[in-house]
């Protein structure tokens, strides 16, 4: 790995455009990252870019008594090299893991979109096929508004005069599916 990684000082990301493109579910994450980016940028901008240039000759002229010390300082200063370092590999691996996770998320969303598109298409086709509501006949009401108009030819419904919602789910039917009335012990079938 090369020692001299590219030095960054400003953000290369267009935050405004990105904010416009994202939906509400990604806003929190983006805000967090934007905050981090601004914090680090502020730190970077506050600190000096490079080592300052110091005129040792003038200092030696000014302080001739300490010229030996100044010489040694100059030598140290000019031979000094601060290592830039590099980002640990572990974090790059984290980024790759995140990329995999994101791809899986995208795939899931695509599947959901496909299913939903099928359902939406079904709904739109159903209503495109229907006649105008003013010209509905008796069977159309049960066909197109099954929540309101029920058809007892193929629906098992129990009376619900107070509109409690007994027919909305099949919970009652499932609960009492094998419900049998308690039989008397001495009741026999042969007579």
Closest C-alpha to 26, from 92, 128, 106: 106
Closest C-alpha to 146, from 168, 124, 117: 168
Considering only 78, 93, 145, 170, the residue that binds other proteins (CB under 8 A) is 145
Q: Which stretch binds other proteins (CB under 8 A): 21-29, 160-168, 169-177, 183-191?
A: 21-29
Nearer residue to other proteins within complex by CB, 3 or 171: 3
110 binds other proteins (CB under 8 A): yes
**Nearest-approach distance from CB 113 to other proteins, in angstroms:** 4
Nearer residue to other proteins within complex by CB, 76 or 171: 76
**Nearest-approach distance from CB 171 to other proteins, in angstroms:** 25
Q: Which stretch binds other proteins (CB under 8 A): 106-114, 158-166, 169-177, 183-191?
A: 106-114
Contact call for residues 40 and 32 (beta carbons, < 8 A): no
174 binds other proteins (CB under 8 A): no
C-alpha pair distances (Å), 67 with each of 55, 78, 79, 123: 13, 16, 18, 91
Site mask for other proteins (CB under 8 A), range 35-74, x = bound:
-xx--xx-xx--xxxxxx-x----x--xx-xx--xx--x-
Q: Which stretch binds other proteins (CB under 8 A): 83-91, 150-158, 160-168, 175-183?
A: 83-91
Q: What is the C-alpha separation between 157 and 145, in angstroms, rounded? A: 16
Contact call for residues 173 and 156 (beta carbons, < 8 A): yes
Considering only 31, 93, 99, 151, the residue that binds other proteins (CB under 8 A) is 99
Burial of 156: CB neighbours in 10 Å, binned 0-12, 13-18, 19+: exposed
167 binds other proteins (CB under 8 A): no
Q: What is the C-alpha separation between 186 and 191, in angstroms, rounded? A: 12
87 binds other proteins (CB under 8 A): yes
Closest C-alpha to 103, from 91, 115, 95: 95
């Amino acid at each position: 790995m090369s020692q001299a990684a590219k030095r960054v000082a400003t953000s290369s990301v267009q935050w405004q455009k990105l904010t416009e493109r994202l939906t509400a579910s990604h806003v929190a994450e983006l805000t967090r990252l934007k905050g981090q980016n601004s914090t680090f940028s502020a730190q970077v901008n506050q600190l000096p870019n490079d080592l300052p240039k110091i005129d040792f000759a003038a200092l030696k002229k000014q302080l001739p008594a300490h010229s030996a010390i100044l010489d040694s300082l100059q030598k140290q200063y000019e031979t000094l090299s601060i290592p830039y370092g590099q980002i640990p590999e572990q974090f790059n691996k984290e980024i790759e893991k995140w990329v995999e996770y994101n791809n899986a998320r995208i795939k899931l969303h695509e599947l959901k979109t496909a299913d939903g598109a099928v359902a939406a298409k079904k709904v739109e086709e159903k209503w495109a096929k229907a006649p105008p509501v003013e010209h509905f006949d008796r069977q159309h009401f049960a066909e197109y508004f099954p929540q309101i108009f029920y058809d007892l030819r193929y629906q098992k419904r129990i009376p619900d005069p107070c509109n409690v919602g007994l027919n909305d789910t099949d919970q009652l039917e499932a609960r009492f599916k094998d419900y049998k009335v308690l039989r008397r012990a001495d009741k026999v079938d042969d007579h």
